[in-house]
Amino acid sequence: MQIVHKTRTQLVAEAIREKILCGEIKAGEPLRQAALAQELNVSRIPVREALMQLEAEGLVNFEAHKGATASEISATQVAETFELRALLEAELLKHSIPNLTKSDFDVAEQHLLKLEKAMAKGDAMVATGELNTEFHNALYSGANRPQTFEIVASLNQNCSRYVRMHIMLAGGLETAPEEHRQILDLAKKGKIKKACEALKQHILAAKDDIQALLTKLEDEQ
DSSP result, 155-197: HHHHTHHHHHHHHHHSSHHHHHHHHHHHHHHHHHTT-HHHHHH
55 close to 62: Cβ distance less than 8 angstroms: yes
pLDDT at 3: 42
Reported pTM: 0.71
pLDDT at 2: 37
pLDDT at 220: 57
pLDDT at 217: 63
Name the residue type at position 152. V
- Please identify every stretch of the chain with a pLDDT value under 50, giving residue numbers as ranges: 1-5
66: three-class secondary structure by DSSP = coil
The CATH classification number of 2-70 equals 1.10.10.10
pLDDT at 156: 86
Instruction: Single out the residue of 20, 6, 5, 129 nearest to residue 68, CA to CA.
Output: 20
pLDDT at 172: 62
What residues does each domain of the chain span?
A: 2-70, 75-220
26: three-class secondary structure by DSSP = coil
Pick the CATH number of 75-220 from 1.10.1660.10, 3.30.230.30, 2.60.40.10, 1.20.120.530: 1.20.120.530
Instruction: Single out the residue of 17, 140, 125, 13 nearest to residue 85, CA to CA.
Output: 140
